[in-house]
Amino acid sequence: FLGDKGRGRIVVGRDTRQSGEMLEAAFVAGLTAGGGDALLCGIVPTPAVALIVRELGADGGVVISASHNPPEYNGIKLFNADGFKLPDDLEEEISAFVTGDAGFVRPTGAGVGRIKAVRDALARYVSHSIATIEGDLSGLTIAVDCGHGASGAVTPEALRRLGATVVPINAGSDGMDINVGCGSTDLTPLVDLVRSSAFDMGIAHDGDADRVLAVDETGAEVDGDAIMAICAAHLHSAEQLALDTVVSTVMCNLGFEIAMRDLGIHVIKANVGDRYVLEQMQASGATLGGEQSGHIIFLDHNTTGDGLVTALQLAAVIKATGKSLSELRQVMHRYPQVLVNVRVADKVGVLTNGTVSAAIVAAEAELGDAGRVLVRASGTEPVVRVMAEAASEEIAADVVERLVRVVSAELG
């Protein structure tokens, strides 16, 4: 991981989960016992760690977080010296080293690492995020659901400094309430707040704030596809969209593809997962990409999905155009989407089973240009995901129901 960098300096951040304290202590103990220095940021959003790694010239970064998952879960995200997430093969190499017996001789005395606090981590991140937009957000009233996560100390502050009137909810945490009935995993509290008064928009983060979803002034959801469509259209009209290209995933809504095509914007599709979106962005030269879940990368501003930066970009479009978010979201017509997860005995068989393939081809022919079908194996569960989009939910549901029967019969 550190290569030939010698001692190594690793930026460490975490979200608000109760187990984060324990895992941070364990990680830092292991790092320093191995001779590395830990640069502790405390509770910060994941994109803040990616930024701090670059600003401090550190050798890598670690975020202890399970992102949008419930509070009893936790995990580790790894970044290299350039602030990019590590590729799968390098993560597997690190895992093998940690769990194996490599004969590593631990240093002693002056050879062990040190622990240093990065006391201005949040201030650095807020200042960086504010600088990503031109002008200010004065005149806008914005509701923010922090999801009891890492965004509580940054998103309301950034919006206020830009002149917006901000009403935050779920900005604190007891360690066991992160993502529980709030934030981007449950928009109900945000929708209720926006509908209770006069807001220009509402935004909701997940636990580590690398994602954001929005609601318009009526309380209607604006997902990642719509946010990307709005921002892409605005950048395109200003001739600021690199290569007139955006990167999405195979799960993006058909309406997004059609909207981008009609505007003359090329769409590149990646596999589901932010790292795969980033890989396609780097390969193509695109600087805007993301997922329906609200994990959106503005590569000109950060190296990973950034919920705060995305929220600011969206708010800046509202301010610059003078249009409401409900007007802006009309840039794309969302096709009804039906998704069913089918538990199977052989998920790999979805790639090779002739009967399943024939059923998919028939469904695609039936829908034509008025819909699409996606059948794929889950990367983590014994599940095949069957999805269809069509002009109506009834049509999509009928197509999915027939495909589910075939998948269950052949692979179940």
What CA–CA distance (Å, rounded) separates 188 from 411? Answer: 37
Catalytic residue among 65, 67, 151, 248: 67
| Long-range CB pairs of 22-26, under 8 A, 24+ apart, other chains included | 23/64, 23/74, 23/76, 24/64
Tokens of 98: 């940690």
What CA–CA distance (Å, rounded) separates 142 from 144? Answer: 6
The answer to whether 208 and 65 are in contact (CB under 8 A) is: yes
67 is catalytic: yes
What CA–CA distance (Å, rounded) separates 410 from 205? Answer: 40
What CA–CA distance (Å, rounded) separates 121 from 307? Answer: 17
The answer to whether 177 and 148 are in contact (CB under 8 A) is: yes
Torsion sign across C-alpha atoms 330, 331, 334, 335? positive
List C-alpha distances in Å: 20 to 36, 61, 62, 80, 89.
20, 15, 12, 21, 25
Residues 6+ apart with CB under 8 A from 147: 170, 178, 179, 182, 183, 184, 185, 204, 205, 206, 207
Tokens of 287: 């600087």
196 burial level (CB within 10 Å; 0-12, 13-18, 19+):
exposed
Q: Which residues are catalytic?
A: 67
